[in-house]
Amino acid sequence: MAKPPTLLDEAPRQPEAPHEKPKKKTDRTHWLYILVIGSVVLGAIVGLVFPDLGKALKPLGTGFVSLIKMIIAPVIFCTIVLGVGSIAKAATVGKVGGLALLYFITMSTFALAIGLVVGNIIHPGSGLQLKPYEASSSGSENPTVKFLLELIPGDLPVLPTLVLALLVGFALQSMGKAGEPVLGAIRNIQAVVFRIMMMIMWVAPLGAFGAIAAVVGATGWAAIGSMMVLMTAFYVTCALFIVVVLGTLLRVVTGLNIFSLLKYLGREYLLIFSTSSSESALPRLIAKMEHAGVSKPVVGITVPTGYSFNLDGTAIYLTMAALFVSTAMGIPMNLGEQIGLLAFMIIASKGAAGVTGAGLATLAAGLQAHRPELLEGMGVIVGIDKFMSEARALTNFTGNAVATLLIGKWTKEIDLEQSRAALSGSRPFDEESLTADAH
């Protein structure tokens, strides 16, 4: 009898301290989003109207990509070590955790493969013929520009970092409780690394401006056309993945309709669209899945784990963007390299959900691991990455909602009558239930 009041007492106190922080973060991210879009538009105008000036601005994009390269190894190391810990913890909760992990790995791999297939069909980036900054301007390189670029530390090799992270992760798991302090320390280091990543992302508008101006200055309207092709193809692929793949799975396993689920989660989609992050809707998804008839234990395990391991939209983006860069650079990947990239992304894409810029770091890591020379073409992706962030976040979110319903059905921990009533609107969700823990 004493425990429930304690928990209830703590619940109202906690929102007040962190309540203002999410607001500040959301507002700042919103401004970053606007700045990047404005920089892309301005860069395209400069490249079209003043092509020589546009090409001269290429070092801005090159410098930003160098900053991303600098942070790749720390991001990969921290996320993989902590990711291995999350897998082990999820696996220990028995049938629900095991099913969830198996489903997440399968769907992420499938989504990565879809990105590769679509990328090979549409060949985004063809005709751009991007060139590395060093190669195109070695004869007339400005000494000041060269000095400034050399101030940025060099990148560390990715594949050895990945292997080391896996070994450290499994070693810490085998240590049990003795390894928990080290995991805690790595979690703190990860917080510092992601803070650095956030600082780097605030330079993204400048990097996007220089990269887009240089590409458009060199290739004109062809660059804008190629970027539009990639963005359109990505949005269409995400929409088809949700409706066809996830919708079919949902109908076959549970008998529920994907469009009813989309309508049921309408408020969450608006929240995600305004913040470009599915993290902002995490508490609401937990509450709504419980209202939809899935048991608390299944929701409590599946949703948080899915936010790190079930990133369908991010998976599609990673492989499509990698193929865009390789095609734009005129260095297409062969089948073996594409399969190797897929295998690398399956591991590297885990654990960095909800962190601004982590997707770019993961993409850069995949390119560096397979074709380091392709990293020079990432400046263009920096410019259009924000345009694709909503589709990524919405697809990730929908994938986790569907996964929760599927795992609820497979573990017989779902009330389908309540699910149908909730999704149809005959038993509407009580918004007041979220006021106590809206944070």
| Local confidence pLDDT in tens for the 439 residues of the chain | 444 443 334 334 444 444 444 444 444 666 777 888 888 889 889 988 888 888 888 888 888 878 877 887 787 788 778 777 666 665 555 677 778 888 988 898 898 889 889 988 888 777 666 665 454 444 456 777 777 777 777 666 767 887 888 888 888 878 878 888 888 898 899 888 888 888 887 888 888 888 888 888 877 887 788 888 888 999 999 999 999 999 999 999 999 999 999 999 988 888 887 666 677 688 888 889 999 999 888 888 888 778 777 888 888 888 888 888 888 888 888 888 888 888 877 777 665 555 555 677 778 877 877 777 777 777 778 777 777 878 888 998 999 999 999 999 998 888 999 999 999 888 888 776 665 444 3
pTM (predicted TM-score): 0.73
Which two three-digit tokens encode residue 23?
């607001």
- Domain limits, the chain: 28-434
Which two three-digit tokens encode residue 155?
């990148």
Q: How far apart are CA 118 and CA 124, in angstroms?
A: 9
The three-point CA angle 418-423-427 to 5° equals: 60
Helical residues (DSSP H) of 50-155, grouped into ranges: 51-56, 58-91, 95-122, 133-137, 143-150
User: Hey, is 414 helix, strand or coil?
Assistant: strand
Which two three-digit tokens encode residue 69?
């390269």
User: Hey, is 426 helix, strand or coil?
Assistant: coil
What is the number of H-type helices and E-type strands within the chain? 20, 0
Q: Report residue 378 CA to chain centroid gap.
A: 16
Q: What is the phi/psi pair of residue 356, to 5°?
A: -60, 125
CATH assignment, 28-434: 1.10.3860
Which residue's entry shows tokens 């990505």?
234
